[in-house]
Amino acid sequence: MRKQRLAQWLDVAGVAGAMLLAVLVNVFAARHYKRWDFTTHGLYTLSQATLDSLHGLGERVEVDVLLSSNDPLASSVKFLLTAYQAETSHLEVRYVDPDRHPADFLALQQKYGIEAGKTDDGVVITDAAIVMSRAQGKPFFLSAAELIDDRDESRARSKVEQAFTLTLRKVMNDSRTRICFTTGHGEKRLEDGGPRGLGELGARLKKNNYDPEEVDTSLPNEKNPLDGCRVAMIVGPTQPFASGDSVRIRAWFEGGGSLFVLSSPVPDSDNRRMLALGLDALTNAAGIAMDETFVFEGEAARKLPGGFGEQFLAEPKVHEITQGLVGERNRDLKILMTASRSLSRSGSGVAPAELLATSKEAFGMADFFAWADKGGPPVRARGDRSGPLALAMAAELPKKPGGAHGPRMVVVGTTSVALGQAWQERVLRGGAIFTESAISWLAAEAPIVDIPDKPAVSGARINEASLGELLRYVVFYVPGAFLLLGTAVYLRRRVSGSGPDGDERG
């Protein structure tokens, strides 16, 4: 009997020892960070380029993570930043959960000008998921969309390391991409924060780590006014471009620059014809012609009620710029076009792609002012262009040596998609997404070739809650189950009165 009890106590001691060992191993692992990556493609191993960037940090960099603990990206971000901190003492990371620490989040929101909203289930979402900065330096922002490549809906590809390391390099260099807005031709101004100005766009560009500035290209003594600009934007000109001005901008574009032209039809001083702005000399370089037409949409489902079809919803075409606007899941994102001209191919040897288009019921009115004088509903006449019509087009010329891509151009037949109302009114946010995506495509930097892409993988997304549940299973539930099993065996043997040799004892 004594031997039986000794064996039972040894069983209990063994289970308790296993539990204690599991706890000690977890505590030791938490205090002494080390990991082994046994995945086939080294999914969780930092690249040499990232290690070099981290080892080269000479001053402290602060990283504020503004992700909810329920966000699927939260665990991946925390895992990677822990690996980053293991390589350098100059990285200070602070996690601020907008749901759990609203006061801390509000302070950072005011400090960095971060916008926030809530989903239907009450989770706080922000327009900046990560903020990196150094002392006396500019803050750099990362959105959640920049951390993952989800173009393939069935398989997501992580871009967390590429995005973090690229932003870290920018923080240390304090360098931002220059986006130059032309002036001198009656263009829209960055200083105007109203619904018809560019103030909202300028604020968004700063949040996306660009430096927007205005450049007067009309000055005759300026030989290369756009030098140092990654993208030049011509938004809503109301006065013609001089030939010398157009020549300088075209030479800059063909030399490797990227150009974004947004131009609505403009009446001349007599309101008799559309004003020739002299932009064809620029757009023809990309095979795009700007028609002197005024577009009316005829399909009832697309035009806004109460008008003649001068305000209507455009249809996005498949392109890298519009990938966040096409498809069933993006059906609620509407792109409102107001007072637009149509575009066409100029036949210069470059084949531009359509980005936005009308329905086949639309038409481009050639003599807008004759109709305006007469009044009444617009009717298609001889000489008008028949739908479907192109409203926005994009083209890329052959790549220059050493460039990330060839000269790129995007042309839109209206300014409405870039004006403040596209950001201020939620129903118009499709236009804001289109404009930001076009600028991103135009300003695209060369990928960090020394940081390889991680293979696309499909699988379950684990958040903080599920990780906590997994930890409880490993540390408590599984050992607890063994303890209960041992206790049950002990009690069963005691009730049955069986001895260690299997004989019953009276």
269's CB contacts (< 8 A; 6+ apart) are: none
Q: Is the pLDDT of residue 447 over 90?
A: no
Question: Is the domain of 436 the same as that of 377?
Answer: yes
pLDDT averaged over every residue in the chain:
81
Exposed (0-12), middle (13-18) or buried (19+): which is 416, by Cβ within 10 Å? buried
Q: What is the rounded CA–CA span in Å between residue 341 and residue 290?
A: 7
Distance CA 248, CA 246 (A): 6
CB 294 within 8 A of CB 302: no
Distance, in Å, from the CA atom of 215 to the CA atom of 111, rounded to the nearest integer, reads 29
Do strands 311-313 and 336-338 pair parallel, antiparallel, or not at all (unpaired)?
antiparallel
Distance separating alpha carbons of residues 118 and 459, to the nearest angstrom: 27
Per-residue DSSP letter, 267 = B
- CATH number (domain holding residue 233): 3.40.50.880
Question: Do residue 312 and residue 185 come from a single domain?
Answer: yes
pLDDT of residue 403: 72
* pLDDT score recorded for residue 388: 95
**Residue 225 in domain:** yes
Structure tokens at 94: 């602070």
Q: Which residue has the higher pLDDT, 97 or 182?
A: 182
Q: Check pLDDT > 90 for residue 179.
A: yes
Structure tokens that stand for 263 in this block: 């131009």
Do both 161 and 54 map to the same domain? yes
Both 14 and 155 in one domain: the answer is no
Residues in the chain: 506
Q: Tally the domains of the chain.
A: 3
Residue 482 contacts residue 183 (beta carbons within 8 Å):
no
Confidence class for position 108, pLDDT limits 50, 70, 90: confident
Whether 121 and 233 map to the same domain: the answer is no
**Pairing status of strand 177-183 against strand 210-216:** parallel
Phi, psi of 179 (to 5 degrees): -110, 115
Q: Look at residue 358 in the predicted model and tell me its pLDDT.
A: 96
pLDDT at 499 over 60: no
Question: Considering the domain boundaries, does residue 460 fall inside one?
Answer: no
Place of tokens 């066409």: 344
Query: Is the domain of 204 the same as that of 158?
Result: no
In the block, residue with structure tokens 């519009």: 322
Mean pLDDT of the region 380-387: 90
Query: Residue 271 carries which side chain, given as an amino acid letter?
Result: N
Q: What pLDDT, in 10s, does the model give residues 229-288?
A: 999 999 999 999 998 899 999 999 999 999 999 999 998 877 778 888 999 989 999 999
pTM comes to 0.69
Q: Which residue has the higher pLDDT, 155 or 114?
A: 114
Q: Under 8 Å CB-to-CB from 159, ≥6 apart: which residues?
A: 146, 147, 148, 149, 453
Q: Do 151 and 251 have their domain in common?
A: no
Are 17 and 68 contained in the same domain?
no
Confidence bin at 58 (pLDDT 50/70/90):
confident
User: Residue 54: inside a domain, yes or no?
Assistant: yes
pLDDT value, residue 449: 44
Work out the average pLDDT over 413-426.
Answer: 90
Tell me, what CATH number does 146's domain have?
Answer: 3.40.30.10
Considering the domain architecture, whether residues 97 and 188 belong to the same structural domain is answered as no
- Residue 114 confidence class, pLDDT cut points 50, 70, 90: confident
Sign of CA dihedral 28, 32, 36, 37: positive
In terms of domains, do 221 and 263 share one?
Answer: yes
Q: Say if 452 falls within a structural domain.
A: no
Which of residues 151, 173, 195 is at a domain's end? 173
* Contact (CB, 8 A) for 250 and 280: no
| pLDDT at residue number 133 | 86
In a domain, 327, yes or no: yes
Q: What is the 3-state secondary structure (H, E, C) of 115-145?
A: CEEECCCCCEEECCCEEEEECCCCCEEECHH
Q: For helices 160-173 and 48-55, give the axis angle rounded to 10 degrees.
A: 30
Q: Which range marks the domain in which residue 30 is found?
A: 2-36+465-496
What is the mean pLDDT of the segment spanning 158-174? 80
Strands (E), 202-271: 210-216, 231-235, 258-262
Domain end point (choices 173, 189, 216): 173
| Distance set, CA 102 to CA 120, 126, 260 (Å) | 18, 13, 40
Domain boundary pick from 142, 173, 204: 173
Identity of the amino acid at 197: G
Same domain, 109 and 193: no
- Has residue 74 been placed in a domain? yes
Judging by DSSP bridges, how do beta strands 315-316 and 231-235 pair with one another? unpaired
> What pLDDT score was predicted for residue 459?
43
> Is 276 part of any domain?
yes
User: For the residues 365-392, what does the mean pLDDT come to?
Assistant: 90
Residue 40 CB-density burial (10 A; 0-12 exposed, 13-18 middle, 19+ buried): exposed
Model confidence at 466, pLDDT cuts 50, 70, 90, reads: low
Q: In this structure, are 69 and 18 located in the same domain? A: no
- Using CA atoms, how far residue 498 sits from 482, 486, 491, in Å, is 22, 16, 11
Asked if residue 79 belongs to a domain, the reply is yes
